[in-house]
Structure 1
Amino acid sequence: MQPQDRFESPSPLVNLRGVSKTYAGGAAPFPALSDVDLEIRAGEFVAIAGQSGSGKSTLLNLIAGLDRPSRGEVMVDGHAVHSLSERALSRWRGNHVGIVFQFFQLMPTLTAAENVMLPMDFCGRWRASERRPRALELLQRLGVADQADKFPATLSGGQQQRVAVARALANGPRLLLADEPTGNLDSRSADALLDLLASLVRDGLTIAMVTHEPTAMARASRVVHLADGRLADTRDTRHAA
């Protein structure tokens, strides 16, 4: 199957219907998202863009099950994420979704390899004897195998983010969610990371990435714009010059 054919999948991997999120606090409730409908199909690389406060990170957190909608449905790979119990949600997320954060969020007392092994330990998806070899394989694929036994504080920002991506891939998820993954990197490291993400999509992974950077949006196959918590427009970039 050619990469472009994956966009023709009959059912979306991610399906949001009428999703709203309102936060209490301050003088009045704050509507972070309002009536958002969004589909992401298997094999897409979707950039979620918008100004600060537009609801980008809230949308990503709802897809990841890190937050719950005030109203609406969040379906991911056939799972009703909005209605799972906290225990089931944690188990589902560990096995089905990889998450990459802007500030890496690596455990400082663990080596790079141990950070990658952590999701495997948590979910028990791999035998204990298989976890370190798998971690080393992922680090090798991401170009940081030589950093496997070093602690995060000794790594550059680009190296830390690559370790974070390896950790997100540890349990073989179909969906990778990235929240401003290049926001804490220099331009060269950011370009290298975006090349890496694009290669993962070519290999069959689905990625939704929050970003405000035009260079990052240009790498995506589709750009979804949010404004004031609402879906403003969506643009397919696959055939752009």
Structure 2
Amino acid sequence: MIEISDVVKSYPLGEGEVVAVDHLSLTVEAGEFVAIVGRSGSGKTTLLNLLAGIDRPTSGIVRAAGADLGALSESGLAEWRGRNVGLVFQFFQLLPTLTVAENVMLPMDFAAKIPAVRRRDRALELLARVGIADQAGKLPAMLSGGQQQRAAIARALANDPPLLLADEPTGNLDSHTADAVLEVFADLNTEGRTIVVVTHERDIRSIVGREIVLADGRIITDDDVVTT
């Protein structure tokens, strides 16, 4: 599902540069649930942005969901992302003037992967899947933080992407709500979806199959997690 080969990502800083990802190589198989952890500034979010095609590497190769991202144009990346990647962010990023159901339908309208006559029904099915079907007609501001994040997960699943990427999806939630949201990810993984989540959650090992620790843009540990 993911193959990163000797990737470097650097940014100009004054007369020099800062290296956010430093000669990193990584493979993630289809169906894996991987947590990327590390302190602030370790390169976690940069790595996720490279996987999503939001950012391009300074050097090296990023392949994900059947594509060599470096070979795609900006419009090609946008089309690939819309069909193959579901993105979940810390601050939900739901459009405030659209209902929850309309937010979930929006990616379907852009990608045109789901027939138009099916889109509303699919949005309602996905909202039921994450436990908030009764909130479909409300605006995001009327929902709790946990409900908004569940809506964001439903939106990420809109086009049935094989790859789900989440950047601190529980970072803006209390611990009880965070646990519930992580359980949604665990359930999605049991259905076979590949998930990569950047997180500070200390007990993430209880639900993921693999934990990768970054420091200074490099992998310092990459461990399979054995749950009991």
For the superposition of Structure 1 and Structure 2, which TM-score range results when normalised by the shorter chain? over 0.9
**Which of residues 23, 38, 46 is equivalent to 1:50?**
38
Secondary structure of 1:201 counterpart:
helix
Matched, 1:172 2:160: yes
**Could you tell me whether the CA contact under 8 Å between 2:206 and 2:227 is conserved in 1?**
no
Deviation digits for residues 163-211 of structure 1 (CA, Å, limit 9, x no counterpart): 0000000000000000000100111111111111001000010100001
TM-score normalised per structure 2: 0.98
Deviation digits for residues 1-35 of structure 1 (CA, Å, limit 9, x no counterpart): xxxxxxxxxxxx10000001000133421100111
Query: Which amino acid is 2:25 matched to?
Result: D
**Could you tell me whether the CA contact under 8 Å between 1:81 and 1:89 is conserved in 2?**
yes
**Could you tell me whether the CA contact under 8 Å between 2:19 and 2:217 is conserved in 1?**
yes
1:198 aligns with 186
Query: Which amino acid is 2:56 matched to?
Result: R
Aligned pair count reads 228
1:160 aligns with 148
Output the CA distance in 2 between the equivalents of 1:157 and 1:77.
Answer: 30
Output the CA distance in 1 between the equivalents of 2:2 and 2:68.
Answer: 10
**Which of residues 88, 92, 99 is equivalent to 1:104?**
92
Output the CA distance in 1 between the equivalents of 2:112 and 2:201.
Answer: 37
Matched, 1:34 2:27: no
For residue 127 of structure 1, report the CA deviation from its aligned partner.
1.8
Output the CA distance in 2 between the equivalents of 1:49 and 1:70.
Answer: 22
Secondary structure of 2:213 counterpart:
strand
Deviation larger for 19-28 or 67-76 = 19-28
**Could you tell me whether the CA contact under 8 Å between 1:211 and 1:217 is conserved in 2?**
no
For residue 138 of structure 1, report the CA deviation from its aligned partner.
0.2
TM-score normalised per structure 1: 0.93
Deviation digits for residues 39-93 of structure 1 (CA, Å, limit 9, x no counterpart): 1111111000111000000000000000000000000122001221000000000
Structure 1 gaps, min length 5: 1-12
Identity of counterpart residues, as a percentage? 57
**Which of residues 186, 190, 198 is equivalent to 1:210?**
198
Matched, 1:93 2:81: yes
Matched, 1:62 2:50: yes
**Could you tell me whether the CA contact under 8 Å between 2:69 and 2:77 is conserved in 1?**
yes
Secondary structure of 1:109 counterpart:
coil
Secondary structure of 1:72 counterpart:
strand
Output the CA distance in 2 between the equivalents of 1:94 and 1:127.
Answer: 15
Secondary structure of 1:106 counterpart:
coil
For residue 124 of structure 1, report the CA deviation from its aligned partner.
1.0
1:24 aligns with 12
For residue 220 of structure 1, report the CA deviation from its aligned partner.
1.0
Output the CA distance in 2 between the equivalents of 1:209 and 1:82.
Answer: 22
Query: Which amino acid is 2:165 matched to?
Result: L
Deviation larger for 72-81 or 159-168 = 72-81
Structure 2 gaps, min length 5: none
Matched, 1:118 2:110: no
Matched, 1:78 2:66: yes
